[in-house]
Amino acid sequence: MKKIEPIQSAKLAVSPGPFSTGVKANGFLFLSGQVGIDQFGKLADDFDLEVRQIFTNIDAILSEQMLTFENIVSITVYLKDMQNFKRLNDIYKTYFNGYYPARTCIAVLELPLAANVEMTITSLTNN
């Protein structure tokens, strides 16, 4: 029997849509798409800052669940401009200590809130 537990984070802006920040189910944590907005709902004004804010948001959610980046098993990245792929990778690799989760990167036409990048993650939980 599956057990599903929606999660929210007090450290993030209120969700702009009808969805949970994430869902825990059967030993996994699935995070909804994260864009580079701070806890006040302000989008970072530069690609690099957006990526760093996304990782700050992911870290906040994981920490509240007693998890770390080492628990992440998969990341999907959505980029508005593939010209930013190298910049993404340069920042991305600083968040992982030689262990990289599986990853997919997809070019898209638009993203919510006019963001330049969005990420979803799947993480193992500790239960």
Share the mean pLDDT of the chain.
90
Total-model pTM: 0.92
For the chain, how long is the longest CA-to-CA vector? 45
Domain count of the fold of the chain: 1
User: Tens of pLDDT along 78-124?
Assistant: 999 999 999 999 999 999 988 899 999 999 999 999 999 999 999 99
Whether 2 has a pLDDT exceeding 80, the answer reads: no
The domain that contains 98 carries what CATH number?
3.30.1330.40
**Dist CA 90 CA 111 (whole Å):** 22
Domain boundaries, position 74: 4-124
- Whole-number Cα distances in Å, 89 to 4, 9, 49, 65, 103: 33, 27, 14, 26, 11
